[in-house]
Structures are given as structure tokens and as C-alpha cells.
Amino acid sequence: MPSNKKIGFIGAGSMAEALIKGILNSGIFLPNQIYISDIKAERLDLLKDKYQVIIAKDNFELLKNVDYIIMAVKPKVIPVVLKELEEDIDQSQKIFSIAAGVTTKMIKEYLSSNNTVVRLMPNTPALIGEGAIAYTVGSDFEAEDKELVEEIFSSVGNVVEVEEDLMDAVTGLSGSGPAYIYLIIEALADAGVNVGLSRDNALELALQTIIGSAKMVLELEKHPAQLKDMVTSPGGTTITGLKILEEKGVRSAFYSAIEAATLKSKELRGEE
């Protein structure tokens, strides 16, 4: 059922667009309930053309019109914007921040207020309703705030609640994760072309392999290692390929990549 509230995106970049498109597809908000503001006029015009949402002339005008504010600017811009809005924000307005690394405590401090603050980490597949979204409500919140988050964000994907100190890990794994998977898709397709497949066939086969494998883990509820064993005939092709992947350190590359991305998320707020 559509909400009767209004939602505003401060920052109309890639992640805001993914959320706007997903939210509109789900029908939870209509275009005339979604406000956007950005310092780039061309982004605002583009999103208005594509989704018929309402352009606010600046962050203040957006603030005057909405019940929920999604902070979708880069982490370093968050303090600048919140300090600007500090005087005018109403206690009833709820802040949803998707900025990597920025904690709920920092947001409350920048605003010098006790508004409800939810920190979320979505990912770009929200664009097609397949997002992985984690959130934390920080230190003080009302039970209905969680229901609200679940209602809005489950319209664009799967939602999980985590403790705030795990939000950087989420950022390193699923926030950044789509890029890792696109890299794997591209690498598999290139590798297929290398052994003689056409580009189209290689990409289609690589993609369906990823989709089918992920769905099997979901639907059969078996451990990935069990499903891996089902593919691996003794002395066959799969174990030959797996041996090379292990020798080249693919597993350990993922440990290192996600550790580094998690650390980077902490660094974005000036911590290590």
C-alpha cells in the first residue's frame, strides 16, 4: 500500500537513483511523494525526466517538504549538509543515512538534535528490487522506526538488522559487493572467450551459471561446499579448475579485499 508520507533524497547520485527506481517500482511511494536535491542541476533534470520525481531547489526546500530524509551524499559531505540543516530540522523528521562509515552518533552530533537516525547500507541491485540492505537504529529509537525501515527498504530488497559496529563489515561485503561480482562476471566471460567461445555465449553462460548457483544455495539450503562437491567429479575438470583458483589465492584475495574495504569504511569517518 502506498505511504501517505513524503521522502527526500539529499544527493541524487547513483545510489539515490537505484533506491528511487526500486521504490517507485514497488509502489510504496509515488513520484509526487519523492523529492530530490543535488548541487548538480543535470542530475536533477535527468532523474526528473526519468522518474517524474520533484526537484527541490536546494536542501532547505527539500527539508521543508518531507517526512523522511535520505542522506545520499558522499561521507565527507554529510557534516557539511547536516550543519546547514541543523537550525531548520523538525524533531518529527526521520534521518536515514546511507553514507559509508558515518555513524548514527556522528549524525546526531552534527545535527545537535535527537531526531530518529537510522544508518543503512544498501547496494545497487536495489534498482531492480534485489538489493541487500543492512541497517542499524543506533542508540535510541522507537519500535515503530524499525517497522518503518523494514517497510520502506524491503520494497527494494532483503533487509537485515545488525549492530552498529558491524555496519563497516556490511559495507565491505554487500555494499561494495556488486562490484566484486561484476568483476567476476567479466573475468568469467573473458576467460570463456579465451578458450574459444563467442563473447555473447561466454557472457550468457557465465551469467546463468552465477544466477543458477546462487539460487541453488538459496533454494536447497545446503552449504556451498556441499554444492561444490556435487559439481566436482573425481579426477575431472572441476577439481582441476578449483586447484588453480586455490593456488592463485582467490579465496584469500576475497578475505583481503573485504577486510580492506571494511577498514576503508572506518577510515571514511577518520578512524582506523
Ligand X SMILES: NC(=O)C1=CN([C@@H]2O[C@H](COP(=O)(O)OP(=O)(O)OC[C@H]3O[C@@H](n4cnc5c(N)ncnc54)[C@H](OP(=O)(O)O)[C@@H]3O)[C@@H](O)[C@H]2O)C=CC1
- Binding region for ligand X (CB under 6 A): 10-16, 37-40, 43, 59, 72-75, 77, 80-81, 98-100, 121-124, 175
Residue 11 interacting partner from ligand A1CAB, ligand X, none (CB closer than 5 to 8 Å by kind) = ligand X
Based on CB atoms, which residue is closest to ligand A1CAB, 120 or 206?
A: 120
Give every CB contact of residue 16 below 8 A, 6+ residues apart in sequence.
9, 36, 47, 70, 72
Cα gap 188→173, rounded to integer Å: 20
65 annotated binding-site participant: no
10 annotated binding-site participant: yes
Based on CB atoms, which residue is closest to ligand A1CAB, 138 or 175?
A: 175
Q: Mind spelling out the 3-state secondary structure of 229-261?
A: HHHCCCCCHHHHHHHHHHHCCHHHHHHHHHHHH
Q: Which of 69, 100, 107, 202 binds ligand A1CAB (CB under 6 A)?
A: 100
Residue 197 CB burial class (10 angstroms; 0-12, 13-18, ≥19): middle
Strand 34-37 relative to strand 54-55, pairing: parallel
Query: What's the angle, vertex CA 9, arms to CA 48 and CA 127, rounded to 5?
Result: 70
Residue 170 interacting partner from ligand X, ligand A1CAB, none (CB closer than 5 to 8 Å by kind) = none
Residue 99 interacting partner from ligand A1CAB, ligand X, none (CB closer than 5 to 8 Å by kind) = ligand X
Q: Which of 3, 33, 136, 176 binds ligand A1CAB (CB under 6 A)?
A: 176
Based on CB atoms, which residue is closest to ligand A1CAB, 165 or 247?
A: 165
Q: What are phi and psi of 141, to 5 degrees?
A: -160, 165
72 annotated binding-site participant: yes
Instruction: Residue 16: name the closest of 124, 107, 103 by CA.
Output: 124
Nearest residue relative to ligand X (C-beta) = 13
Sequence ranges of the binding site for NADP(+): 10-15, 72-75
